[in-house]
Amino acid sequence: MSNTRPAVIAHRGASGYLPEHTLEAKALAYAMGASYLEQDVVASRDDELIVLHDIHLDRVTDVAGRFPDRSRDDGRYYVRDFDLAELRTLNVHERRGSDGQTAVYPGRFPTDAGRFSIATLRDEIELLQGLNRSSGRQVGIYPEVKSPKWHRQEGVDLSKLLLGVLDEYGYRSSADNVFVQCFDATELRRIREELGCGLRLVQLIGENDWGESDTDYDVLKTASGLLEIAQVADGVGPWIYQLFTLADIDGQPISSGFVRAAHAAGLLVHPYTFRADDLPPGFENMSEMVDWFVGTLKIDGLFTDFTDVAVAALQNPET
Ligand code: CA
């Protein structure tokens, strides 16, 4: 849809190499040549914006050992139940599974090593803007409003807080180097219309059985659903599996038609997530996957845990 090189969005930073959403992972992704650094944004008890993927703390921090009596009835520890000063004392580790022990990605950074901290959105923007200044590059941010409906039930308007911080740091219009993303279509429309946001917006597209939001993704994925998204958003962030199927005859990937339909609606397409250690069927390695998605499907950007692999594949396409 454009002639510029597809955007490489560092998914939770260089999370293939370092614990996700740590400043170390963000600095590494920056150095590897990312176009955007991604921030998942949740709110603390004292309404600070925290960069973490989950509304829970227990999969990526030592909270259970440090604050054993602070879980809710479901046994989970919530970012919303802690002040920033408490969150700052936690150690962040590589993501573990629901048993609290097993690594989700066994080949990655050890789950029991290192000294890493939780970062606020402000911490991260200051790191990025500082690097932009010292390096002369212009890397953007790509914040996601996480579970806005849940946050509202908890008494906080996450979108409003986010837009306030972005404004403070100079992100105000569609010309600024930022995309704001959200799974909740009602919230994304609210961000544009009620909160008057002038930034570029991306509608994330999941599957209905994930329970991410009340949004009906089966409707959004249709041509008319995409046209409706285009009324408020500049792009879509679909799941990679929504973009292709495998041919019965030879098992080769073929287009699902999604990217074409999204482009016809005037939307950029930034699929998630390209992982060198978790490839979909039909691809031998991540470089081949990037080549095909860019060369055949014509995507406009991609979310990846492996910024370096994506950047190298875009610089040296095989096709
Ligand atoms: Ca995200």
Residue 165 within a domain: yes
Strand partners, 244: 255
Phi, psi of 130 (to 5 degrees): -65, -45
Residue type for position 22:
T
CA 197 to chain centre: 19
Q: Do β-strands 235-238 and 200-205 pair in parallel, antiparallel, or remain unpaired? A: parallel
Mean per-residue pLDDT over the chain, rounded = 96
pLDDT digits 0-9 by tens, 68-91 = 999 999 999 999 999 999 999 999
- Contact between 50 and 79 (Cβ < 8 Å): yes
| Amino acid in position 209 | D
Integer Cα distance of 146 and 212 in angstroms: 9
How many domains does the chain divide into?
A: 1
Q: How far apart are CA 152 and CA 167, in angstroms?
A: 21
Distance CA 143, CA 179 (A): 7
Tell me the CA–centroid distance for residue 249 and ligand 1, in Å.
35
d(CA 151, CA 158): 6
pLDDT band at 316 (very low <50, low <70, confident <90, very high): confident
Residues 6+ apart with CB under 8 A from 227: 265
- The answer to whether position 65 is within a domain reads no
Residue 105 belongs to some domain of the structure: no
- For the record, the structure tokens of 207 come out as 């599957």
Q: pLDDT-derived band of residue 319, with 50, 70 and 90 as boundaries?
A: low
Cα 77 to ligand 1 centre (Å): 20
Question: From the CA of 248, how far away is ligand 1's center (Å)?
Answer: 32
Tell how far the Cα of 145 is from the centroid of ligand 1, in angstroms: 8
Distance from residue 313's CA to the centre of ligand 1 (Å): 23
Is the predicted pLDDT of residue 229 greater than 80, yes or no? Answer: yes
Q: How far apart are CA 268 and CA 257, in angstroms?
A: 14
**CATH at residue 300:** 3.20.20.190
Cα(39) to centroid(ligand 1), Å = 7
What are the angstrom distances between the C-alpha of 69 and each of 23, 74, 76? Answer: 28, 12, 11
- Report the alpha-carbon distance of residue 81 to residue 72 in Å, rounded: 9
Query: What is the pLDDT confidence band of residue 241, given thresholds at 50, 70 and 90?
Result: very high
Nearest in space to 1 (alpha carbons), one of 252, 183, 263: 263
Contacts of 312 (CB under 8 A, 6+ apart): 287
Q: Do the Cβ atoms of 290 and 309 come closer than 8 Å?
A: yes
11 three-state secondary structure: coil
The whole domain housing 268 covers 7-56+119-315
Is the CB of residue 34 less than 8 Å from the CB of residue 9?
yes
Nearest to 183, CA basis, from 215, 155, 223: 215
Is 148 inside any structural domain?
Answer: yes
pLDDT-based confidence at 1, cuts 50/70/90?
very low
By annotation, the residues acting in catalysis are 11, 53
Asked if residue 267 belongs to a domain, the reply is yes
Mean pLDDT of 258-275: 98
Considering the domain boundaries, does residue 103 fall inside one? no
Judge contact between 219 and 225, C-beta under 8 A. Answer: yes
Residue 99 domain flag: no
Structural domain includes residue 79: no
Model-level pTM? 0.97
